[in-house]
Structure 1
Amino acid sequence: MKLILTQEVSGLGAPGDIVEVKDGYGRNFLIPRGLGMRWTKGGEKQVASIRKAREVREVRDLGHAEQIKAQLEALSVKLLARSGDSGRLFGSVTVTDIVSAVKQSGGPDIDKRRIEIGTPIKTLGSHQVSIRLHPELSAKLSLEVVES
């Protein structure tokens, strides 16, 4: 099945890419979640607008990505969260929480789809978060979750 990706799918492609996937994966996972749409000749025209929007959001080049990486790794980000007596959070830390915490601590704007959390953050303390800035470069962010 040929699909046009509308959002980034790790391991598959970026918005505007035309990919060939198995029928079940496309029909049952990608299309219902809005990650892709069926390829048609008319859909080809939409690819140009999707790619334009991607270029605006995208980090310009590897040099720019390295500058952002240096800013992020020099930053100490504290995130306030409610927790119980044992240090376990009520809920978990989301990527939206991380984006707002980076902004509050004076960091650059980050697209929330670029943040990768290995395991859900459900405890107080120090955690490492990976941010994909460029296909060849990612930054490690130190996140300190403290009780509010």
Structure 2
Amino acid sequence: MKVILQKDVLNLGDAGDLKEVADGYARNFLIPRRLAVRANDGNTKVALHQKRLADLKREKRTKVMKDLSASIEGKTYEVKVKVGENDKLFGSVTANDIVLAIKKTGVEIDKRKLDLGEPLKALGEFKIKVRLAEGVAPQILVKVVGEA
């Protein structure tokens, strides 16, 4: 059965794609969950139009993210944290702390875009990847500095 995907489906395709799938998969999974519709002439034209709009939107977003990437790429951001004896941190530096340091320079970034892996629990410099969009992932340098 030919279907037009309404949403991105893992291991099948992106929204707007025309796919040939098993009848049972389409009837029992894709169509009831509104992930796809049965392909016919009218639906195909609408799907192609939606795909073009989605591509334009994605290109525009990527362009904006590349501009944002150029403004933060390679810069150093300083995060001050309280430390105790032997420069041991009280707590850790989280994505939210880093976003606040970036915000002081006038750039807004969502904390979910930062790829920390795990919170920073030591003083020093750390390279952090910022996943802005597909193919746009600048690296920033975060300097964790202690204050007594």
- How many residues get paired? 102
Name the CA distance, whole Å, in 1 between partners of 2:109 and 2:137: 12
Q: Which residue of 2 aligns with 1:9?
A: none
**Secondary structure of the equivalent of 2:132?**
strand
User: How far 1:125 sits from its partner (Å)?
Assistant: 1.3
In structure 2, how many angstroms separate the alpha carbons of the residues matched to 1:124 and 1:74? 19
Pairwise CA distance, 1:122: 0.4
Shift of 1:99: 0.8
Q: Secondary structure at the match of 2:109?
A: coil
In structure 1, what is the Cα distance between the partners aligned to 2:124 and 2:71?
22
Q: Which residue of 2 aligns with 1:146?
A: 145
* Cα displacement (A) at 1:59: 8.9
Change (3 A) 1:111 1:100: same
* Alpha-carbon distance in 1 for matches of 2:85, 2:136: 39
Q: Normalising to structure 2: TM-score of the pair?
A: 0.57
* TM-score, normalised via structure 1 length: 0.57
Secondary structure in 2 matching 1:138: coil
Judged with a 3 Å threshold, the aligned counterparts in structure 2 of structure 1 residues 17 and 87 are, in CA distance, closer, same or farther, namely farther
- Structure 1 position 40 matched with structure 2 position 33: yes
CA deviations 1:101-141 (Å, max 9, x no partner) are 1001x142111111101343101111111100111120111
* Alignment check: 8 A CA contact 2:74 2:141 kept: no
**1:129 maps onto 2:128 in alignment:** yes
Shift in Å, 1:66: 2.3
CA distance in 2, matches of 1:100, 1:140: 17
Match of residue 111 from structure 1: 110
Structure 2 residue runs of 5 or longer lacking an equivalent are: 1-6, 12-31, 37-53
- Structure 1, unmatched stretches of 5+, are 1-15, 21-38, 45-51
Which residue identity is paired with 2:127?
A: Q
Whether contact under 8 Å (1:117, 1:129) holds in the other structure is yes
Structure whose residues are more often strand by fraction: 1
Checking the alignment, whether the CA contact within 8 Å between 1:75 and 1:107 is kept in structure 2 is: no
Q: CA deviation at 1:71?
A: 1.1
User: Residue by residue, what CA displacement relative to the aligned partner does 1:24-82 show, whole Å, maximum 9, x if unpaired?
Assistant: xxxxxxxxxxxxxxx734x88xxxxxxx9xx7xx8943332222112112533111111
Query: Counterpart in 2 of 1:92?
Result: 92
